[in-house]
A and B are shown apart, each in its own frame.
Chain A
Amino acid sequence: QVQMVESGGGVVQPGRSLRLSCAASGFTFRTYAVHWVRQTPGKGLEWVAVISADGTIKYYAGSVKGRFTISRDDSKNTLYLQMNSLRADDTAVYFCVRDPNSGYGDYWGQGTLVTVSS
């Protein structure tokens, strides 16, 4: 069955970096676009970034552009999110989301919590 398992979350100080990973299984990872979406109690669901199936197209939300980098390693069936210059308002649960190359998410991971605090 389709599984997407995020890891790498934790507590980090403002200005520091963190890298999230998402291990995918149960489907042919290289044929799907994949997103990162985050959720906070106050701001709800916020789309963060997407990478195309072939890895050549990447888009970012304005709030993270220039600080976050999405990437994928199809040999490891893994999606990454490198997060630099973290701020308190980046605190959220981060989900990786499979996209059947259409723009919506048909499978979501369970999420990993990132807390940015001094």
Chain B
Amino acid sequence: DIQMTQSPSTLSASVGDRVTITCRASQSINSWLAWYQQKPGKAPKLLIYKASSLQSGVPSRFSGSGSGTEFTLTISSLQPDDFATYFCQQYNSYSYTFGQGTKLEIK
């Protein structure tokens, strides 16, 4: 299976900050990568698909980039609603795999 490694595991930041989360794949997944946001007790919400395509309804402060084995999720200016856990997921091949998550905390 393809392994997905996210960094950092925890990130402390303030409202208005620009933050970047990284996801690395153990082998090339082309651009077959999605990013999700999850809040406690809630289902994950799709933010980005195909590495850089913004899901409908998601604020433009979220952006994704990368291809091959290295990908990033950037939030350009953190808002209070953005403090949550973020996961990446590869869908290049079965079985699909997720990163372990990055918890974004208020500094």
A24-43 CB contacts (< 8 Å) to partner B: 35
Number of B residues with CB within 8 Å of any CB on chain A? 24
A62 with B95: CB separation less than 8 A: yes
- B43 near A46 (CB under 8 angstroms)? no
Stretch at the interface among A12-20, A66-74, A77-85, A108-116: A108-116
Q: Is the interface of B mostly helix, strand, loop or mixed?
A: loop
Report if A104-B45 is in contact (Cβ < 8 Å); known contacts: A47-B95, A47-B98, A59-B95.
no
**Chain A to chain B contacts (Cβ below 8 Å), 14 pairs:** A45-B87, A46-B98, A47-B97, A50-B94, A60-B95, A95-B44, A102-B50, A103-B32, A104-B91, A106-B46, A106-B49, A108-B45, A109-B43, A110-B43
Q: Which of B43, B50, B87, B94 has the most CB of A within 10 A?
A: B43
Known contacts A44-B100, A46-B98, A47-B98: does B91 contact A103 (CB below 8 Å)? Answer: yes
Q: Which of B87, B91, B92 contacts A44 (CB 8 A)?
A: B87
A32-B101 Cα distance, complex, nearest whole Å:
27
- Looking at the complex, which one of B44, B45, B94 makes contact with A59 (CB distance below 8 Å)? B94
Contact of B98 among A45, A107, A110 (CB under 8 A): A45
Cβ of B42 under 8 Å from chain A: yes
B residues lining the A interface (CB < 8 Å)? 1, 32, 34, 36, 42-46, 49-50, 55, 87, 89, 91-92, 94-101
Q: Given A45-B98, A47-B97, A106–B43 Cβ distance below 8 Å?
A: no
Judge if A88 is at the interface, Cβ distance under 8 Å: no
